[in-house]
Amino acid sequence: MRAVGSAERATARGRVALTLALLLALLPGLGGAVCVRDEPGTLWDFEGTLAAELRVRMTLVFSGEQVQGMYFYANQLRDISLKGQLRNAQDLVLNELDATGAVTARFVAHFPQRDPGSTYGDSLLTCDVIAGTWQKLDGGPALPVYLTTSSAVTGSLEHRYLAALGVRDDKLINDGAERFWRAVKAADRPVVAAQIAYPITVNLAGRRLRLQTPAELLSHYDAIFTETFRATILKAMPRNLFVRDQGAMLGHGAVWFGANGKAIALAN
């Protein structure tokens, strides 16, 4: 039998602790937040984990008690439709739909008054944290879900980038961001260079340099895409990005994309 190391035991204890905290947050009498949102023109983005390990991003639109949205797994980058209700200004029930519109799984969660995780400390919350469970309808365990607010965007589920960038097809931005992200991950330098709009300004050894062509970028590739910068990019999820009139943002400002789906700014 393989011996279990201290690191593995610590990881297991951490998962159990998070699971218990999230389940306790669902128990009645512990206090829920009052989350009132009636903004059908706003996309609310949440990020966190499902089953304490799987990273997800969820986008919700609140129209009174009716809620629509989508979510995706970081390891799949494919949108999954959601439809449900916000009850009593705190209880959230979201049905997961397949391509035919059939319900295949369900989120049962709420907006806690206190953070069962560690993001907000002991602050009093409203619509900041989603805590609950996800479960397939055909059986299986109820898995813990913990999400925190990441951004708010003016737009619709069909047209996230239209209001800010005038882009009618979300696929243009999402595909461009994913292509860039995958190329950085694979160290595919020519594709990375091709996914950038020129000229572009980068920081090199404390000075700003304006690069005019892909060839110029490739000549400075290692100095731009350092291990730290690559790690920042790869930690981000290249889909359904925060957007404003300046562009669509990947990785808390690490990379910005323009209306043509190419990178227009690198915060290296």
Question: Collapsing DSSP states into helix, strand and coil, what is residue 78?
Answer: coil
Statement: residue 228 has pLDDT above 90: yes
C-alpha pair distances (Å), 255 with each of 129, 168, 202, 262: 26, 21, 11, 10
Encode pLDDT of 155-176 as tens digits: 999 999 999 999 999 999 999 9
**CA pair distance 166, 245, nearest whole angstrom:** 9
**Residues 115 and 126 sit within 8 Å (Cβ to Cβ):** no
* Domain range list for the chain: 6-19+31-154, 162-266
**Residue 31: pLDDT band with limits 50, 70, 90:** low
DSSP 102: -
Tokens for 161?
């980038």
pLDDT bin (cut points 50, 70, 90) of residue 26 is: very low
Specify the CATH number of the domain 6-19+31-154. Answer: 2.40.128
pLDDT of residue 76: 96
Q: 150 vs 104, 127, 192, 218, 266, CA distance in Å?
A: 26, 11, 27, 33, 21
pLDDT class of 212 with cuts at 50, 70, 90: very high
Residue 147 backbone phi and psi in degrees, to 5: -130, 145
What CATH topology corresponds to 162-266?
Nuclear Transport Factor 2; Chain: A, (3.10.450)
| C-alpha span between 255 and 173 (Å, rounded) | 13
What average pLDDT does range 131-158 have in this prediction?
96
Label residue 21 exposed, middle or buried (CB < 10 Å: 0-12, 13-18, 19+).
middle
Q: Give the global pTM.
A: 0.86
Q: Is the pLDDT of residue 105 over 70?
A: yes
Percent of the chain with pLDDT over 90: 84
pLDDT attached to residue 34 = 86
Q: In sequence order, which ranges of 26-105 are alpha helices (DSSP H)?
A: none
Average pLDDT score over residue span 201-229: 96
| Angstrom distance (rounded) from CA 23 to CA 38 | 28
